[in-house]
């Protein structure tokens, strides 16, 4: 017989509405998951939500023979920005397959490993290290500067255009608009529609317009400047046909997918920010990382080359362990694949059951701290992410980029960018806490980041 899924007590009609702070959603879900175990549920205004918090259960619901990505809640709101793009398309929408087949070759492992893709990254990343080493010492907000670097890298790598946002005094409007849109997407499903229309719709519409206009300028620049053209992602969006259907993307969908790249890429900047935090909290790991870099890159004035990057195994382990402790895409939604049967879905060998159409949310913060998989799960131990130890981890412990056909399709680019950026900083920059008493706090929507994490940066003393 199945056991009841654990849940907090609720109140009549409202249920558990006060157990989740809409302005701090992910931390609310983490607290519930930590308290109620590997699976729990809440009821909000009559709607049941189920949360998954163990490696074993996550591995089970990532079986694509039984489950699929669920597009619901905040992701549906994001369709106002990017319509039926790769990130927001429903499972039954044909356009997802068309767009994916056109775009996937340009972010594949082979493409990301090619010299052109690496050169694009390597050309842009020194802008950050030069900024951070241009004076004896300066105070920086790590997440802010890394977000600007990431935006510059995306535009250069995928669209062969250069933007200059790293040195601007004010926060780039595009970043502000993106953060505002994602926060609104998290809040909107829990807010009365009348309040949304009266007090929030105007700014939401304005932010969407700003992001789409930015994408339109990228497309127009390519069309107006044929010399920019090359066989890259933007070229594919503009000119390539789906090899299966023969269809091309219309103008609106081209803009959708340009915008999509910013939706997905934002996690990488936050991942490197978390890595810097964990290294400062564990200086012996930073010292070990520096030793690896110095042993591979003999000349301190050289930029990191592709062959050298591939040998930075400890740097990659740092990124993996940072992603484990602070999954920057903090979760994803899964639902049972619809069938004619309306029978309950059994989980954990029948221990639990859910309705046939029940959406589930994987809470990666608690999944990645599963004590059945990770010894001392709160500790930052990159060594457990090296070589065979990484390979031996259950698949459910390696879901930082989602699952299956709907996982982050640009994960290879994001991974390479994160390793190169972190290695470049460690190689050339001395960094420390601006406030030695700082304690990590995080928040966010589709991606989470450290809040108010300021550092002091200076040229590395050798």
Render pLDDT for 261-273 as a digit per residue (tens, 0 to 9): 988 888 999 999 9
Q: Positive or negative, the Cα torsion across 28, 319, 385, 120?
A: positive
More confident position, 307 or 286: 286
Residue with tokens 């960094």: 431
pLDDT band, residue 300 (cuts 50/70/90): confident
pLDDT band, residue 114 (cuts 50/70/90): confident
What's the mean pLDDT in 186-194?
Answer: 89
70 labelled binding-site residue:
no
> What is the tens place of the pLDDT at every residue in 325-336?
999 999 999 999
What's the mean pLDDT in 101-109?
Answer: 91
What's the mean pLDDT in 106-113?
Answer: 82
What is the pLDDT at residue 110?
Answer: 79
Quote the mean pLDDT of the chain.
Answer: 94
What is the pLDDT at residue 111?
Answer: 80
CB atoms within 10 A of CB 445: 21
- Calculate ∠ Cα 235-238-241, nearest 5°: 95
What's the mean pLDDT in 287-313?
Answer: 91
What's the mean pLDDT in 250-258?
Answer: 98
Residue 138 structure tokens: 């300066």
What is the pLDDT at residue 191?
Answer: 86
Does residue 171 have a pLDDT over 80?
A: no
What is the pLDDT at residue 85?
Answer: 96
Residues sharing a CB contact under 8 Å with residue 329, sequence separation 6 or more, in sequence order? 267, 364, 400, 401, 402, 408, 446, 447
What's the mean pLDDT in 54-64?
Answer: 98
> What is the tens place of the pLDDT at every residue in 403-458?
999 999 899 999 999 999 999 999 999 999 999 999 999 988 889 999 999 999 99
Residue 462: strand, helix, or coil: coil
> What is the tens place of the pLDDT at every residue in 350-399?
999 999 999 999 999 999 999 999 999 999 999 999 999 999 999 999 99
Does residue 115 have a pLDDT over 90?
A: no
pLDDT band, residue 108 (cuts 50/70/90): confident
What is the pLDDT at residue 55?
Answer: 98
CA–CA separation, 411 and 403 (whole Å): 11
Which has the minimum average pLDDT: 62-66, 95-99, 170-174?
170-174
Gyration radius from the chain CA atoms: 22
CATH (residue range 25-459): 1.10.630.10
Q: Write down the domain spans for the chain.
A: 25-459
Does residue 11 have a pLDDT over 90?
A: yes
User: Closest Cα partner for 406 from 71, 110, 55, 29?
Assistant: 71
What is the pLDDT at residue 167?
Answer: 84
What is the pLDDT at residue 2?
Answer: 85
What is the pLDDT at residue 358?
Answer: 98
What is the pLDDT at residue 265?
Answer: 86
What is the pLDDT at residue 409?
Answer: 87
What is the pLDDT at residue 301?
Answer: 73
Does residue 234 have a pLDDT over 90?
A: yes
User: Closest Cα partner for 148 from 174, 122, 183, 179?
Assistant: 174
């Amino acid at each position: 017989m199945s056991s009841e899924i654990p849940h907090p007590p609720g109140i009549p009609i409202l249920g558990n509405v006060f157990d989740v702070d809409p302005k701090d959603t992910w931390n609310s879900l983490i607290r519930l998951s930590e308290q109620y175990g590997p699976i729990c549920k809440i009821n909000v205004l009559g709607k049941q939500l189920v949360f998954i918090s163990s490696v074993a259960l996550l591995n089970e619901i990532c079986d694509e023979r039984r489950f699929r990505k669920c597009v619901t809640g905040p992701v549906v709101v994001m369709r106002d920005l990017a319509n039926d793009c790769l990130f927001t398309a429903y499972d039954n929408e044909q356009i997802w397959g068309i767009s994916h087949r056109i775009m996937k070759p340009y972010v594949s492992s082979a493409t990301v490993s090619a010299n052109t893709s690496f050169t694009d990254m390597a050309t842009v990343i020194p802008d950050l290290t030069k900024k951070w080493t241009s004076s004896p010492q300066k105070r920086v907000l790590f997440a802010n500067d890394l977000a600007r670097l990431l935006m510059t890298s995306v535009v250069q790598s995928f669209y062969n255009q250069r933007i200059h946002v790293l040195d601007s005094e004010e926060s780039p409007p595009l970043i502000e608009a993106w953060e505002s849109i994602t926060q609104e997407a998290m809040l909107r499903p829990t807010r009365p529609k009348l309040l949304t229309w009266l007090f929030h719709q105007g700014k939401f519409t304005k932010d969407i317009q700003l992001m789409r206009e930015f994408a339109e300028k990228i497309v127009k620049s390519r069309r107006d400047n044929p010399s920019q053209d090359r066989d890259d992602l933007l070229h594919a969006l503009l000119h390539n046909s789906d090899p299966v259907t023969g269809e091309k993307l219309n103008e609106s969908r081209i803009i959708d997918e340009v915008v999509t790249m910013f939706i997905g890429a934002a996690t990488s900047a936050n991942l490197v920010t978390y890595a810097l935090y964990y290294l400062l909290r564990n200086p012996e790991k930073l010292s070990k990382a520096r030793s690896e870099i110095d042993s591979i890159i003999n000349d301190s004035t050289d930029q990191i080359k592709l062959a050298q990057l591939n040998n930075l195994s400890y740097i990659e382990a740092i990124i993996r362990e940072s992603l484990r402790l602070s999954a920057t895409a903090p979760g994803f939604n899964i639902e049972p694949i619809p069938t004619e049967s309306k029978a309950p879905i059994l989980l954990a060998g029948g221990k639990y059951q859910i309705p046939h159409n029940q959406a589930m949310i994987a809470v990666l913060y608690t999944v990645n701290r599963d004590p059945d998989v990770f010894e001392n799960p709160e500790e930052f131990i990159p060594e457990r992410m090296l070589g065979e130890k990484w390979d031996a981890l259950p698949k459910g412990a390696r879901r930082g980029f989602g699952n299956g056909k709907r996982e982050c399709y640009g994960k290879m680019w994001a991974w390479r960018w994160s390793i190169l950026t972190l290695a470049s900083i460690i190689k050339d920059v001395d960094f420390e806490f601006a406030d030695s008493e700082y304690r990590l706090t995080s928040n966010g929507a589709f991606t989470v980041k450290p809040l108010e994490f300021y550092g002091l940066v200076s040229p590395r003393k050798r």
